[in-house]
Structure 1
Amino acid sequence: MTHPIPIFIGVDPRERAATNVLIDSLTQNSSVPLAITPMVTPQLEKQGLYWRDRDPKQATAFSFSRFLVPKLMGYQGWAIFMDCDMLARGDIAELWALRDDQHAVMCVQHMHEPNDTVKFLGEPQTPYPKKNWSSLMLLNCSRCRALTPEYINRATGLELHRFHWLAGDHEIGEIPGGWNHLVAVQDPAKAEESPLLHWTLGGPWFREQRTMGEGLAAEWFAARDDAFRLWD
């Protein structure tokens, strides 16, 4: 029997609608069982795993807590981390099949250089190398032992998101770009075949961004309506 794929989703309390739609889209499109864990910051704090103060450059509640996934896995096996502002169109088992033991982490290696200084709800938009690489990660947890709670709670944001906790970039494997398509950032034509959409600038669950991505926003609303449809 196939073991459930462990998936950890970073949750921000302002994006609960996005989280629920993402979970439904993952389960509806998956060919195998999934073990989905929403990463809720107050829960991690109560467990003594997360205690750092909010950073002024931190856009979401899970900006840094995402790196606790290897700890939550007991530093064993593989796991997927993903931001909550995503929508699955494809079978996540196909992403899972890409894991390669020669790497400690695998991700879509974007070249995202934002021009704006703010994004959703006025949150800061901070440019840095490897931006958005950590928004979707296949983590080889036994090779991520440097990610202790102590390190995560004292390291800078750049040290975490630029993977300074690895021996070098040779430990980072590449995932095809369609598995983390940045809505309203990348060429819309590339979204047509993308199995996973990512509203990194803010999505249609925010009133002022209801049309973000145009047709892709309509697709998100259709997924929402399907997830919460009442049956006779």
Structure 2
Amino acid sequence: MTMSNGSNGSTENKPFRIFVGYDPREDLAYQVCRHSITKRSSIPVSITPIVQSDLRKAGLYWRERNPLESTEFSFTRFLTPHLSNYQGWAMFVDCDFLYLADIKQLVDLIDDRYAIMCVQHDYTPKETTKMDGAVQTVYPRKNWSSMVLYNCGHPKNKALDPETVNTQTGAFLHRFQWLEDEEIGSVPFVWNFLEGHNCVVEGDPSTKPKAVHYTRGGPWFDAWKDCEFADLWLGEMDEYVKEKNKKEAGIAN
């Protein structure tokens, strides 16, 4: 695959970089998300979990945990351009996603004019809690930061250095306040299809999810075993577990 390397104008044949938010409580969600991407991808991808403990050991993250942070990657996600050496394009995505389409279709939407691209939801959650009882906060541009294509080479994204990510407010980061509105590109909502909020319109294939986001809580939590699209996630999990067991049996032999 030949990709533009953002604002530096060069091209390179490298796997598309994907950083997935990781929380030890949701390891299975991460594994299934990863499996769903790699299984369907027609292009090479490099998938890296953003693990807070590793970033702390590396001296890249030292922020104190806020009680309102529902996951360990609430803020570490914004280190994506830094972890990409401020070069090329990369994607951050929460671990509670299930990909149902080829990631190449998303990569093909990349436009070098923008500093970032994301689904620009107009979303106010009805629930007061999510996942395993975490507080459901409400703020402008809610869920925009849950899946972001970063033009890591864009000059404006150099603002996302470790110092900024560790000291700036949640509002500054999650609302993309280091950018002007016109520097934020839009992606169709089906790439961040919010379970329980977005709807499939019968007879309209453009509303069919390409990536389901279990933002309220996914089937890996007992309280959300019966959420919408739970059957798709559980089917993907079964496939992942079977492949994992097969590999482990092969190594043992």
Q: Which category describes the TM-score, using the shorter chain as reference length? A: over 0.9
CA deviations on 1:90-148 (whole Å, 9 max, x unpaired) are 00011011111110000000011112221111111111110000100000012210001
Cα distance in 2 between the residues matched to 1:165 and 1:57: 22
Within-5 A mapping of 1:1-232: 2-143=13-154, 144-166=157-179, 168-189=180-201, 193-213=208-228, 216-229=229-242
State the distance in 1 between where 2:14 and 2:153 align.
18
Question: Gapped runs of 5+ residues in structure 2?
Answer: 2-12
Deviations 1:178-214 (A, max 9, x none): 000001122254896211010000100011211111x
CA deviation vs aligned residue, 1:8-43 (integer Å, no higher than 9, x gap): 000111111110011111011000111000001000
User: Residue 112 of structure 1 aligns to which amino acid in structure 2?
Assistant: Y
Who is 2:8 aligned against? none
- Distance change in 2, residues 1:210/1:118 (3 Å): same
Q: Could you tell me how far apart the structure 2 residues matched to 1:217 and 1:116 are?
A: 18
SS of the equivalent of 2:109 reads: coil
Unaligned runs of 5+ in 1: none
> How far apart, CA to CA, are the structure 2 residues paired with 1:101 and 1:45?
32
> How far apart, CA to CA, are the structure 2 residues paired with 1:75 and 1:49?
15
**Separation (CA, whole Å) in 2 of partners of 1:97 and 1:46:** 36
> Percent identity, aligned pairs only?
47
Tell me if structure 1 keeps the 8 A contact 2:17–2:91.
yes
* TM-align CA RMSD: 1.6
Alpha-carbon distance between aligned partners in 2 of 1:185 and 1:61, rounded to the nearest angstrom: 24
Structure 1 length-normalised TM: 0.95
Q: Distance between the aligned counterparts of 1:95 and 1:79, measured in 2?
A: 12
SS in 1 for 2:20: strand
Deviates more, 1:182-191 or 1:192-201: 182-191
- Pick the structure with greater CA Rg: 2
